[in-house]
Structure formats: structure tokens, C-alpha cells
Amino acid sequence: MKRPRIVISGAGIAGNALCIALNRRGIIPTIIERADRPQPGGHTVDLRGSSQDILREWGMLESVHALAVPEERMVAIGRGGRRLWSMPAASGAIVADLEVGREDLNDVLRQAGDANSRFGEEIIRSSLTQSGVQIETSSGRTIDADLLVAAEGTHSALRARMFPESSLAYLGGYMAFAPVPFPPDFHGEMRVYTAPGGVMVAIRPGRAHGHAIVAIRAPRVPQIERDTSAQRKFVVEHIGRAGISGDWHVPSILDASQHDPGFHCDALLKVSAPTWHRERTVLLGDAAWSGSPLTGRGTAMAIMGAEALADAIARRPHDLDSACRDYETRMRPLLRWSQRDASPRTLRAWAPASAGEILLNTIFMRTLTRTPLRTLLTRPDGGNLPRPVHAAS
């Protein structure tokens, strides 16, 4: 049987996970990545829903567990260092039961996969042919494929070109990440500093260092979005305006935001694409369904989507349009789960503007974490990949 020729654009978690899932079905894809090398950085990502079951099936759960960040709980700290509320790590909690550095996870997935990989290259044109899709890359190469997978993340160029009806909804602010020293007296806890002003700062543990997160409520400023020094300035200005520059561990976060090469900032955006496949091009991962880092479910969804897509391709290698339809039928129901927290309301809870908002949030979170309602946090997180549509075929 002739194996389908698959080209994946994007060597992030989704692209590398798809490579492994295809390898398991005897297919070696081509991966084209725009960056010159695997993208470093990011803080910890959550492995929720059935993503852990899939990693177990792939024989990778142990190696991923070996990279896990020991993160015990999340603690909200108020002005003066008072603990407002705390939530232990658990399947359905803010800190999941398995948290791994994004870069570590991406490395382990990339090393496990077998692909013809091209870094520093991107697709500039693709067109439908009688037998599939013809792809032209920025280095002048032409590749004939049966299926092109856009796993290019939230700002996917292929999605913009091939799915112009898709949209990006702005969720009311920005989020920035930077490496910082992890304070030893945090005892493995993620700590979130809560003060009025519409800016949240937090520090999470990591394996080599801590990770600072800054969430900012603000109108959209498109001109900073491709300009790292403008983003650094934006973050510093907003922390200053919130009046917290000298508080808590904010000085070290400010320092990293101004100088650290690992600084990364993006608008909080939710992707909506009415269809995920067209003309032998299919969307996967954040390119298809990102709910922004506010949801904490993008990585689990990337792994589940990769498994669903590879399974559908292997079941219908000679009818890839139907395979893409099957994949979409399996993944669509998961959107309600994965994009549940993708809203400005979530950002308002993280980055309260006033003392009143902090009080309401504290009462809500104490009720959730100190009463029998806390069982909601420990039950298995609800996103499980539905069984294949054509399980019997």
C-alpha cells in the first residue's frame, strides 16, 4: 500500500506529536519550521484530559514524567504577603497533576519522532493538484504531498490564507513570560501576587529556574505585537501604572522583562475556524482552536488532535478528505472543554482592577477550595478524546 505523503508546517508540540503518531502508523512526514531551530522558552504546560493516556500508548509517559515540574499548589498572595487562598495541584485544578516545561516537552517529542525536518524555511504557496497538494517553500523547493497540515500556532499564516473565514477574538489583554530565579521560600508553589490595577504577576517553579508570568488587561495595541522591545516597554509601563513595581518579587520580574532573552509576550487570542480542512490542507493545534494560555489546555489538545488526525489518516489513506472530516468530527466536541476559559472574564479574575474584584474573587475561590465543592478539582479533567467515528471499519 502506498503511504500518504504528509507535510507538516510547524515543529511545535502539535507538529512533533503528529510526527510520532504518524510514525506509529508507518508514515514518515516532512516537517517545515520557520524558526532556525526548535523554539525555546515558555513556562510549564498542562497535560490534561486523555493526553496522558495517549503518551502512555506512545510509550512516552515515563520519560515525560521524568521531566515533570514538582509544582505542589497555587497560592494567591495579597498586598503585605497575606495568603488569600490556595489550591493544591490536581487533575481539574489550575495547577494540573502533570506539569512539564514547554521546551522540555517539545524536545522530548521532537527526539522521539522520525521526520525529514527543515528549519528556517516556510511555505509561501500551496495549490491543489489532481493527486494532492503542491507546496512551494521559501528556499525555492517544490514538494508534492497528499496532505498539508498547518500546525503553525495561533498566528498561522496558512490558516489566514486558506481559511479566510476564520477569526481571532481578542480576550482583553496580553500575557508575558520570562525566566526568573525561583525564590527558595516558595517551596515548589506557584505564587500569584494579587493587587488592584488590572495587572497580575506570578512566579511558577521550573526545572532550571522559575518562570514569571505577567497578565495585563488593556485595549489591543497591534503595533507592539511584532516588536519585542515595544512589548518589554509595554509590560514595564503597565506594571508601573498598577503601582506594584516595588512590591513582592516584582523587581526581579521587571528586570527579566526588560533584559532576559527568554522574554515572550503575546496578545490573548481565541481562534475560531468554522472548518479545519479544505483542499488537502488541515489545521491542527493552536492554529485550529487556540483558546490562549488562559485555558491551559492547548498542549493536551495538540496531543489529542495529533492522535485523532493520524488515526483518521491511517484508516482512510486513500480518502484523505473523509479522513479530515472524521478527525474534525472527533475533535470538535472537545472545543467546549478546551476553550471554556477563553474569555475576558477569566482574565478579569486573574488580573483584578479593584479591591472589590479581589474580595469577590477571594470569596469565590475560598468557597471552591475549602468546602466539599473542592472535589470538583480532583475529579478527572473532562476532556477525553472521543472514540474513532468509524471504529468498526
Interface residue with ligand FAD, options 34, 110, 316, 330 (CB under 6 A): 34
Measured distance CA(197)–CA(355) in Å, rounded: 9
* Contact between 369 and ligand FAD per CB under 6 A: no
* Contact between 60 and ligand FAD per CB under 6 A: no
Interface residue with ligand FAD, options 249, 264, 277, 325 (CB under 6 A): 264
Measured distance CA(387)–CA(211) in Å, rounded: 36
* Contact between 9 and ligand FAD per CB under 6 A: yes
3-class secondary structure, 160: helix
Q: Which residue's CB atom is positioned nearest to ligand FAD?
A: 12
Interface residue with ligand FAD, options 67, 157, 353, 368 (CB under 6 A): 157
Measured distance CA(225)–CA(150) in Å, rounded: 22
- Cα angle vertex 356, ends 95, 204, to 5°? 20
Interface residue with ligand FAD, options 4, 12, 29, 206 (CB under 6 A): 12
Binding range to ligand FAD, per CB under 6 A, among 29-37, 75-83, 108-116, 249-257: 29-37
Question: Measured from the CB of residue 59, what is the shortest distance to ligand FAD in angstroms?
Answer: 20
Set of cell numbers at residue 263: 522574554
Phi–psi pair at 137, nearest 5 degrees: -110, 170
What DSSP string describes 274-298?
S-SEETTEEE-THHHH---TTTS-H
For residues 308 and 358, which CB has a smaller minimum distance to ligand FAD in the complex? 308
First to last CA, the chain: 17
* Contact between 240 and ligand FAD per CB under 6 A: no
Contact track, ligand FAD, 118-137, x by CB under 6 A: ----x---------------
* Contact between 15 and ligand FAD per CB under 6 A: yes
- Cα angle vertex 94, ends 194, 247, to 5°? 20
Binding range to ligand FAD, per CB under 6 A, among 12-20, 195-203, 236-244, 349-357: 12-20
Measured distance CA(163)–CA(275) in Å, rounded: 8
Binding range to ligand FAD, per CB under 6 A, among 11-19, 246-254, 329-337, 385-393: 11-19
The position carrying cell 493545534 is: 285
Question: Measured from the CB of residue 266, what is the shortest distance to ligand FAD in angstroms?
Answer: 8
* Contact between 177 and ligand FAD per CB under 6 A: yes
Contact track, ligand FAD, 313-332, x by CB under 6 A: --------------------
For residues 97 and 358, which CB has a smaller minimum distance to ligand FAD in the complex? 97
Measured distance CA(165)–CA(271) in Å, rounded: 11
In total, the chain counts a number of residues equal to 393
Measured distance CA(177)–CA(179) in Å, rounded: 7
Interface residue with ligand FAD, options 4, 42, 179, 198 (CB under 6 A): 42
Burial of 1 (0-12, 13-18, 19+ CB in 10 A): exposed
Which residues form the interface with ligand FAD (CB under 6 A)?
9-15, 32-35, 39, 41-43, 45, 102, 122, 151-153, 157, 177, 264, 285-287, 293, 296, 298-299, 302
